[in-house]
Amino acid sequence: MLLITNEWIDIIDINGKIAIRRTNGDKGTYDIIDNELKINWEKWGLETFEKKKNIYYNCNNGNNNIFEIKLESKYYNGIYIFDINTEEVKYQNNFIGKYFFKENNLYIIWKNKGLEIFKQLYYGKIFTSTSFGKIIQDTKKKEIKIIAIVFPQFHEIPENNKFWGNGFTEWTLLKKIPRIVNNEIIKQPHEDIGYFNLNNYEHRKYMRILANKFNIYGF
């Protein structure tokens, strides 16, 4: 089954009563009643999709017949508008064509230049017709993994405690810095992360949950 949401496009494989996203292995139990597909994802909870023209979609953008995809080629890139009812794709009334999906590939027959085939990048709504797309076809072997660079902050050692005091970290000094210094805004920790301490298992677990949410492979 091909699923389309505001954030991603993917195929789900069915194994008994389990739905599995092909690109990243997310799993959930599912039910299909008439033209409605409901998946209760293990990580993300319940999500409902409506079937139209063999596509299951959940696009809560005020117009459930419209979704967007970023397309890139050697010559252009931009956000294109797709209409489920008309099976038409367009960009600022300049590029217009008809589209269809086959597996995870997107096929567009442009009015002015004929067929163009796009391959999906990452887990989102980015498709490319460049040669780079061919490199990542085998997602299990050649998938690009997102790695976040994280300032390692503080690892407790006796010497550090002796000279600076127990539990001293870079945050100890940074918390005292004014918000604005020499007319420059001093960046504060992001509100979703806060003053983290890598010695705290619960906070490391929270970072893992954040990483899973945003498809970050590691740190």
Both tokens assigned to 55 = 């596509």
pLDDT tens for the chain, residues 1 to 219: 899 988 899 999 998 899 999 888 889 999 999 889 999 999 889 999 999 888 898 887 656 688 999 998 888 888 999 998 889 998 876 778 999 998 779 999 998 889 999 988 777 788 989 876 665 555 554 557 788 887 766 667 788 889 888 877 777 777 777 778 888 877 777 667 776 777 778 878 888 888 877 778 888
- Are the C-beta atoms of 23 and 30 separated by less than 8 Å? no
Q: What is the pLDDT of residue 211?
A: 84
pTM tops 0.85: no
Q: Counting beta carbons within 10 angstroms of the beta carbon of residue 175, is it exposed (0 to 12), middle (13 to 18) or buried (19 or more)?
A: exposed
Q: What is the pLDDT of residue 133?
A: 66
Q: What is the pLDDT of residue 106?
A: 93
Domain boundaries, the chain: 2-58, 66-140, 158-213
At residue 154, φ and ψ (nearest 5 deg) are -130, 130
Helical (H) or strand (E) element with 79: strand 77-83
Both tokens assigned to 23 = 């690109």
- Are the C-beta atoms of 72 and 17 separated by less than 8 Å? no
- Distance (Å, rounded) from C-alpha 63 to C-alpha 50? 13
Q: Measured in Å, how far apart are the chain's first and last C-alpha atoms?
A: 33
